[in-house]
Amino acid sequence: MKTIDFDYNLPKELVAQFPSKERDQSRLMILNRAEKKVEHKVFNQIVDYLQPLDGLVINQTKVFPARLMGQEKNSKVKVEVMLLKQSTPDSWEALVRPGRKGKLGEQIIFGNDGLCCEIEEELTLGKRLVKFNFEGDFVEILNRLGRVPLPPYIKREPEKEDEDRYQTVYAKDRGAVAAPTAGLHFTSDLLDKIRDMGVKIIPITLHVGLDSFRPIREEDYRKHRLESEYFHLEPSSADDINEIKSKAGRIIAVGTTTTRCLETVSDSSGRVYAQNGWTDKFIYPPYEFKVVDALITNFHLPKSTLLLLVSAFAGREFILRVYQEAMKQKYRFYSYGDAMFIF
């Protein structure tokens, strides 16, 4: 198969520009892999498909306000700096827009209280290494001057509501520039209800980067390389997962990021090990999943690594057929869109 085999045409009006009115009132498509059957539900009805021995694994990464709006010191031209990954206490890998800006040695000023940066190095994929000069606490400065980094297919400026809604209710570990969007549908009340059923809720962390939105450019998708993302799995979470697997319970991953983390830290038998580090694991068909038994996920971009992961889990033909059905039924796509539960 080639990358083009994971393409589809999505009407623009189905790309969700705003979140649903209530988190758990998004639509939910149920996919039965064995029987190739589909059901249409509301997200809070997911409790009907969970079982007491299940483990629900969530990614508790927290999105930080990574977009900084500034201007070049000399030309006064407006520039956006999108922070991606911290290299040193005062240096970051970043994207600079417009792309023709951000030349070596250029200084960019943000606001009126002394925050500025200098372009130190040109990196691959259009990135820059920028070094900041500031007084005080950088996190506090970012919280004050930074903006929510909404995905590029959301064609509007961030609003106050996005500070809350483009964040899971269990977000804890600051470091992501994109939300683990499958988790956006959960409310605290729904999670409590799931716990009361006897389902174990297990946290992991993987800081989501911009590769979530980067299409595969290679004709042969196996040549595509993901940017590394930081992950962390606590010993208590590893113990819970291994215990559930030993009792023949299901491990349900909330999102593709959770799935990649779990499949990174497992051995060939499906046992996971507590650790932290960086992963560039790219899951595509064919792939034998060692840990994940079921998956909660949103609807993904054409020719994306996320769509390939879901296709590896449920089968390309089935997934593409389901996507056509979702478009016919007017499901909402991408980060603020609806969800599916695949088991």
> Tokens standing for 298?
């949103």
> Tokens standing for 332?
């909402």
Q: In what order do the strands lie in the sheet with 229-233?
A: 37-42, 27-32, 339-342, 294-298, 251-254, 55-59, 200-206, 229-233, 275-279
> Tokens standing for 227?
């940017």
Mean pLDDT of the 41-64 span: 98
pLDDT in tens, 151-173: 999 999 999 999 999 999 999 99
Mutual orientation of helices 316-328 and 305-314 as an angle, nearest 10°? Answer: 110
Q: What share of the chain is helix, strand, coil (3-state, %, to 5)?
A: 30, 30, 40
- pLDDT on residue 13: 98
Is pLDDT at 101 greater than 80 in this prediction?
A: no
Instruction: Work out the percent of the chain whose per-residue pLDDT is above 90.
Output: 92
Distance CA 100, CA 159 (A): 28
Is pLDDT at 99 greater than 80 in this prediction?
A: no
pLDDT in tens, 235-291: 999 999 999 999 999 999 999 999 999 999 999 999 999 999 999 999 999 999 999
Is pLDDT at 212 greater than 90 in this prediction?
A: no
Instruction: Work out the percent of the chain whose per-residue pLDDT is above 70.
Output: 100
Torsion of CA 215, 34, 206, 245, to 10 degrees: -160
- pLDDT on residue 125: 81
Which band of pLDDT confidence, cut at 50, 70 and 90, is reported for residue 221?
very high
Q: Concatenate the DSSP letters of all residues of 239-269 into one string.
A: HHHHHHHHTTPPEEEESHHHHHHHHHSB-TT
pLDDT in tens, 315-331: 999 999 999 999 999 99
- pLDDT on residue 69: 95
Assign residue 184 a region (left: φ > 0; alpha: ψ between -120 and 50; beta: otherwise): alpha
Q: Across all residues in the chain, what is the average pLDDT?
A: 96
Q: Residue 318 carries which DSSP code?
A: H
Domain 3-63+163-342 class?
alpha beta
Mean pLDDT of the 59-81 span: 94
Peptide bond into 98 cis (omega under 30): yes
Query: What are the sequence ranges of the domains in the chain?
Result: 3-63+163-342, 67-145
Helix (H, G, I), strand (E, B) or coil at 307: helix
Is pLDDT at 9 greater than 90 in this prediction?
A: yes
Is pLDDT at 40 greater than 90 in this prediction?
A: yes
CATH number of this structure's domain 67-145: 2.40.10.240
pLDDT in tens, 117-132: 999 999 988 899 999 9
How many other C-beta atoms lie within 10 A of the C-beta of residue 36?
Answer: 13
Is pLDDT at 24 greater than 90 in this prediction?
A: yes
- pLDDT on residue 214: 85
Find where tokens 């349900």 sit: 252
